[in-house]
Amino acid sequence: MRVAVVGGGPGGLYAAALLKRLDPGREITVWERNAPDDTFGFGVVLSDETLGGIEHADPVVYAALQDEFVRWDDIDIVHRGVHHTSGGHGFAALGRRRLLEILHERCRSLGVELRFRAEAPAPAELSGAYDLVVAADGVRSLIREAYADVFGPSVEEHRCRYIWLAADFALDAFRFEVAGTEHGVMQLHAYPYAADASTVIVEMREEVWRAAGFADLDAQESVERCAKIFADALGGRPLRSNKSAWTTFRTVVNDRWSHGNLVLLGDAAHTAHFSIGSGTKLAVEDALALAASLQERSTIDEALAAYEEERRPVVASTQRAARASLEWFENVGRYVDQPPRQFAFNLLTRSRRVTHDNLRLRDAHFTTAVEREFGCPPGTPPMFTPLRLRGLTLRNRVVVSPMDMYSAVDGVPGDLHLVHLGARALGGAGLVMTEMVCVSAEGRITPGCAGLYTHRQADSWRRITGFVRAQAPGTAIGVQLGHAGRKGSTKLMWEGIDEPLEEGNWPLVAASPIPYGPASQSPRELSRAQLTDIREQFAAAAWRAARCGFDLLELHCAHGYLLSGFLSPLTNLRTDAYGGSLERRLRFPLEVFDAVRAVWPEERPMTVRISATDWAEGGTTGDDAVAIARAFAAHGADAVDVSTGQVVADERPEYGRSYQTPYADRIRHETGLPVIAVGAISSWDDVNSLILAGRTDLCALARPHLYDPHWTLHAAAEQGYEGPGVAWPKPYRAGSRRPQTGRTDAPKPRLSLET
């Protein structure tokens, strides 16, 4: 087999070495346009997991790396002049130039041909002359661009400028420092990579960079200016560059990683922001997976498919974490008013890979100190601290999110609703929310949706709130009121979600006459008189809800339903006073809110659920979401329930763990309004992390509560918590300990004999 590797970075070199080691008969050539000792970075960080893979695949390279690594455990965070240290993290780093030298030596010893200062032949020529072509030619890969129509690359440029520098001394920890300057916030990322050297990255938003005058400075002036800004971190020492220049980070994603006998590797295939230190790690792991796949599969086509199948989910997960970290640093100015220790915790958990529980294992002293400053009594996890909204005090921060049961008859909730909501109220959550309760028969999503527009419906809801009050004292129950708008008259979820009914349809109304999907019924645009009627329907339902004994009312202005349809520019094309600018699109939802607030008891809180983004071009933006939240707050909303999407059928959500939380985080910090975070929050560790970092005030969980109605009680038991933030119902108290399981550990030997 003849193999061409284009790009002499760590990923390309390591792939060449592994492929040659596994089959010495392979003819392998590496093309690198730069000189052997050219490198544009300084230090490289590798994880223990990556090192374990290297050790298994090539002990010679591993041994050479082991001799060079600088290791440390601490992360230092400096904010507003206050220095906090968190330990137990475990890093290993070495100089990038030394890493390349080790890989050069290994390639040469194995018989790999290295061609430096040499441009590789054209991709088509390589593909025809070699059995396999590995494109490890970086972010601006020429091979990827030559076949862009096949690989389908997406390259996103981000909002911060950064510069990669070095200092000639070794820091004793990974250091993050935030400097508040007259021009805005700047941040430093720095870590040791040798006994006498450290990598130093200085980063700031583009507008801060320009305001500070960096655009007008030459390279040396920039270096000197950075050293002056972060003089305390550097101990007054200078910084140095290596052809360093200010740049912006680019996130690379590809639809495909291979084409014929061409395969992408490392930054050519994907990038992950430097703030989680995964670029070299991913490239090296790509090389390991590619070599293994070629060894295990009988054809190149099969091997490249297996390589991509193995690596793509790992890379996607890393890129999600990297994006969360990148966006946190892009918006670090949002958090500078946090107390320094909470700011440090927020920074450490920014990527959602390090969590509250994980950080406690690493550094219990630091985590306990953050909890104490937050207000957690001793032994109390953050999720079990109370929260007051108006006259209602929730005993913990867990919300059972609204979940449509599609099981009502003529809008009347039945036994299933009683059992569903009653069981979850007994399960320990601070607040249990009903499904979207419709304000009219025409406002239902499906024939099975519950309502609150008749006395019979109200009587049935009163039965449910009475059960919660009597059997789960301390648990609040809230009602979510809404109108389906253009998304109504559809089948039950399990019969075909969002599909129109085959018979028994009712007419639909909406802000504008736009059907939800290609097969959906077209709604009628609401007239002024109809708007008044619907506003009064909401008020009447709220009046009934108050008399049913609900503790909290949420107005549903999300997910493309009627009020959401007014807010989004994609679904509101009106030319009257209720369409056009955001201020005008807000007019009807605010009228409804005011009408509901007027009949809802003053001491009981009201929240609003919004879709903070439509996940579609031209739709609601993050800036819009902040403005919408501010508008509702000005009218008396006590909290905003921050969801996303489901407004248009052709949305493209970016799913991932707690993927909607950044929108809640932004609204909370920019408006000061309490928020409820939702969306793929699945563990009590996530809840603790989000609450303690100050990204949300409450966490709403749906699917976890379908899987386990007693999710909150079990969260308390698993954390050993028995305080006032949760209460086991007396009949269930015997189950407050995790049941024993069969023994899985073998008896330990009684004697240990040395020979």
Span between the terminal Cα atoms of the chain, in Å: 49
From 329, 365, 364, 363, select the one nearest 346 (Cα to Cα).
329
* CB burial of residue 721 (10 Å; 0-12, 13-18, 19+): middle
C-alpha–C-alpha distance, residues 523 and 503, integer Å: 17
Active site residue 561: yes
- Residue 629, number of CB atoms within 10 A of its CB: 27
C-alpha–C-alpha distance, residues 196 and 596, integer Å: 66
C-alpha–C-alpha distance, residues 307 and 262, integer Å: 13
C-alpha–C-alpha distance, residues 659 and 695, integer Å: 12
Residues 644, 612 contacting (CB under 8 angstroms) = yes
* DSSP string across 258-286: EETTEEE-GGGT----GGGT-HHHHHHHH
Residue 59 phi/psi, 5-degree rounding, is -60, -25
C-alpha–C-alpha distance, residues 105 and 127, integer Å: 27
C-alpha–C-alpha distance, residues 499 and 112, integer Å: 59
C-alpha–C-alpha distance, residues 297 and 170, integer Å: 45
Per the structure block, which two tokens stand in for 536?
A: 């009064």
| Residue 406 backbone class (left: φ over 0; alpha: ψ -120 to 50; beta: rest) | left
In this structure, which amino acid lies at residue 158? Answer: H
293-296: list long-range contacts, CB under 8 Å, 24+ apart: 294/19, 294/22, 294/132, 295/22, 295/23
C-alpha–C-alpha distance, residues 359 and 451, integer Å: 45
From 120, 251, 701, select the one nearest 712 (Cα to Cα).
701
- C-alpha distance from residue 242 to each of 40, 163, 210, 219, 245 (Å): 6, 10, 22, 10, 9
Q: What residues contact 287, with CB distance under 8 A and at least 6 apart?
A: 11, 12, 14, 15, 18, 265, 266
Residues 654, 615 contacting (CB under 8 angstroms) = yes
Per the structure block, which two tokens stand in for 262?
A: 């061409």
Q: What residues contact 236, with CB distance under 8 A and at least 6 apart?
A: none
From 13, 256, 264, select the one nearest 134 (Cα to Cα).
264
- Residue 201, number of CB atoms within 10 A of its CB: 21
Q: What residues contact 480, with CB distance under 8 A and at least 6 apart?
A: 402, 433, 434, 435, 436, 437, 553, 554, 555, 556, 609
- C-alpha distance from residue 549 to each of 413, 458, 478 (Å): 15, 10, 9
C-alpha–C-alpha distance, residues 598 and 186, integer Å: 46
Residues 326, 354 contacting (CB under 8 angstroms) = no
Residues 512, 579 contacting (CB under 8 angstroms) = yes
DSSP E strands, 558-605: none
Which of these is catalytic: 193, 307, 561, 659? Answer: 561
Q: Which residues are catalytic?
A: 561
